[in-house]
Amino acid sequence: MFYSFIRVIVRIIVYIINGKPRFEHTERLPKGNYILVGPHRTWFDPIYYALAGSPKKFSFMAKIELFKNPILRWILNHANAFPVDRKNPGPSAIKTPVRLLKNSNLSLIMFPSGTRHSQDLKGGVAVIAKLSKVPIVPTVYQGPLTFKQLFSRQKITVSFGEPFSVDPKMKLNADGFKVIETKMQAGFDQLDHDIDPNFHYVDPKAKSKA
């Protein structure tokens, strides 16, 4: 109930601030649960991913530090977020999303890089997808990268790639992770090119230090 309510409020707010975003290839989204993966380019791209995937509802990984504030913790819990300790993830970082994907109507939004300022793909997506037996959907966001840029009404596009699954027989060793990472990266690259052949992501944090 809260998730549906807050999604409506957020949709109105972002439309007022930046206008109507463009959501491409929503027909590619599976009917059941799935893992939506994308490069983490700004703190608000998960909001746009969730709006683009509507009416499907999603769960989210959020850094454990955010749950220390009681008000923010209440909001995150009711928005289907669950805490993950990035320094010491522990078994729950895998068990919690697998349980949600298998036993609820919630799909998962996950950023393989872990943070907005890392381009290294991690193996967690492959493990969760294999254990939960749900497909992976590559996704990209192109648009403003800072809160200030949002008000420039620069066009925002979210595009969905073709879903793919992890072979149940695949060994999740270094070679197996490399196969999945390559598929995800190829999906990101193709989507970025299709939206804008000249697109090149520049981390605003790195740019500000230059």
> Can you list the alpha helix ranges (DSSP code H) found in 138-173?
147-150
Task: Over range 189-197, report the average pLDDT.
Answer: 97
* pTM of the entire predicted model: 0.89
Residue located via tokens 């009416």: 55
**Is the pLDDT at 206 greater than 80, yes or no?**
no
The pair of three-digit structure tokens given for residue 89, joined into one six-digit string: 């993830």
Whether the predicted pLDDT of 194 surpasses 70: yes
Q: Decide: 161 and 28 in contact? Cβ < 8 Å.
A: yes
- Stretch among 19-33, 36-50, 149-163, 193-207 having the lowest mean pLDDT: 193-207
Structure confidence at residue 2 (pLDDT)? 85
pLDDT digits (tens, 9 = 90+) for 46-93: 999 999 999 999 999 888 898 998 998 998 888 899 988 877 777 888
Q: What is the pLDDT of residues 7-17, one digit of tens each?
A: 999 999 999 99
Cα torsion 101, 105, 106, 107 to 10°: value is 70
Query: Does residue 195 contact residue 157 with C-beta atoms inside 8 Å?
Result: yes
Residue 29 tokens read as 């989204």
Which residues does residue 107 pair with via DSSP β-bridges, in sequence order?
Answer: 58
Rg (CA), the chain: 17
Instruction: Find the mean pLDDT for residues 21-39.
Output: 96
- pLDDT score recorded for residue 85: 83
